[in-house]
Amino acid sequence: MPRRTILFIPLLLLILIPSITLVFGASRTPLYYFYIYGENTCPHCIAMHEFLSKTYGEDHVVFCNILPETMDNPCFRKLEDFSNTGLVLGVPFIIVVYNDTASAIVIGEYENKTFFDSLLHTNPSDKIPVYTGGMIIGYINASRLGQHGFVSYYAPYHPLGAATVCPATISSSNASIEWSPAGAAGRAATIGLPELLGLMVFLALLDSVNPCTLTIYGLFLLGELSMKKRVVGPGLLFLAIVYSGYLVIGLGLFYLSMYIPQKILGLLAIILGAYNILDVVRGGEEYKCRVCDKLSGLGKAMGNPYVMALILSLISVSVLLPCTSGPLVAFIAVLKTNMPGLAYLLLPIYVAIFLLPLIITYVVLGVLGRRGLMEKIPARLLRSIQIITSLIIIMIGASIL
């Protein structure tokens, strides 16, 4: 091969590679984007287009102009499908697309980054929640199209931000989608972020009163102190494992909740609440942790406090906490239909609040060495708290149903 040809090939590649990258890179669909149906003369539509473009980047926003309002306009024709289902429309009408799924529909101007951040998640269901003013008002059921078909037809991505003609493979008909308003079953979801945070703190504090776990942890610390051993390290190990384990339980339940109907979650909360009440009643007037009795001799058999902390914390996470997780189930049921995108932020905070009594126990016994304070807590008080907590969880579960 001539020397000039050998030198020419790298030069040709240097010219072609950027061009190929530009062509293919420009057509690549981003992980998420916002598909806006609106009028180019509407101030609210213009405001939302500017807000989303500045917040997330222009390449994450597609604007579909419904003017002129004729059936020859594909943007207007597609939006009419939603109107024909009975959904009261307004513009801007925004479809939030994440990972090729429609995670939500937002109607009207609502410039709230925290809210839109919460919508950026994969939606494994064919039910698409519809929001206005940050409140959920119902669902669009796209089961006949499926998520891929819905996004391909109603919210196709266009790199230049201009919606083009609808695909001819799907007929424009509202028979493909259905509208379901949020009635009594969706009442739990019609709350804003402040109310959701308040509910999170309330349920986490209720959840934190777990007599068995508190008793096991307290007895472990007292046992180590009685043998003149340091409890700072083992005590922290116990807390770390319980926090990590309960967080894994919470995230696992949240993931499963995306595939479980809301009424099933409400029923599960009621069952857990009723089970806890029966468990307390069977224990008699003085609340007694039967698991604690079975583990009472374990401390003498184990010489290493770290191994002991590991075993007890794993028992708490795998046996005790799932049975008393009614408040967690109730919170996930509300979170799922309200702001599921905040789950990975709020669930770690929930578990941190849940851990507060154990942290207090650790400070009182492990750091300050004040044994007498823990011994003064009456068993009847723990019994009453657990019954009240269970009744509240049953009521929340009933409201979800």
Domain stop point among 139, 156, 182: 182
Question: Who has greater pLDDT, 372 or 74?
Answer: 74
Q: What would the mean pLDDT of 28-41 be, rounded to a whole number?
A: 89
Same-domain check for residues 123 and 195: no
How many other CB atoms are there within 10 angstroms of residue 5's CB atom? 8
* 365 pLDDT higher than 90: no
CA angle 85, 147, 79 (to 5 degrees): 35
Q: How many domains does the chain have?
A: 2
Domain stop point among 135, 154, 182: 182
**Max avg pLDDT among 43-47, 222-226, 313-317:** 43-47
Same-domain check for residues 213 and 249: yes
Whether residue 261 is preceded by a cis peptide bond, meaning omega within 30 degrees of 0, is no
Same-domain check for residues 219 and 119: no
Q: What is the pTM of this model?
A: 0.57
**Do residues 124 and 260 touch, judged by C-beta distance below 8 A?**
no
pLDDT confidence tier of residue 400, bands split at 50, 70 and 90: low
Express each pLDDT in 213-225 by its tens digit: 776 776 667 666 6
**Do residues 154 and 66 touch, judged by C-beta distance below 8 A?**
no
* 240 pLDDT higher than 60: yes
Domain stop point among 164, 182, 200: 182
Same-domain check for residues 175 and 194: no
Same-domain check for residues 198 and 168: no
Same-domain check for residues 163 and 200: no
Express each pLDDT in 120-135 by its tens digit: 888 888 889 898 877 7
Question: Who has greater pLDDT, 282 or 91?
Answer: 91
The range of the structural domain enclosing residue 88 comes to 3-182
Same-domain check for residues 283 and 219: yes
H or E element, residue 150 = helix 146-154
The mean of the pLDDT values for the chain is 75
Same-domain check for residues 205 and 160: no
pLDDT confidence tier of residue 187, bands split at 50, 70 and 90: very low
Q: Assign residue 80 the CATH number of its domain.
A: 3.40.30
Same-domain check for residues 307 and 340: yes
Express each pLDDT in 317-346 by its tens digit: 787 677 677 788 888 888 877 777 788 889
Q: What would the mean pLDDT of 305-327 be, rounded to a whole number?
A: 76
Same-domain check for residues 241 and 369: yes
Same-domain check for residues 219 and 273: yes
Question: Who has greater pLDDT, 176 or 186?
Answer: 176
Same-domain check for residues 117 and 220: no
Express each pLDDT in 120-175 by its tens digit: 888 888 889 898 877 788 889 998 889 999 999 999 997 654 444 444 344 444 45
Rounded to whole angstroms, the Cα distance separating 182 from 189 reads: 9
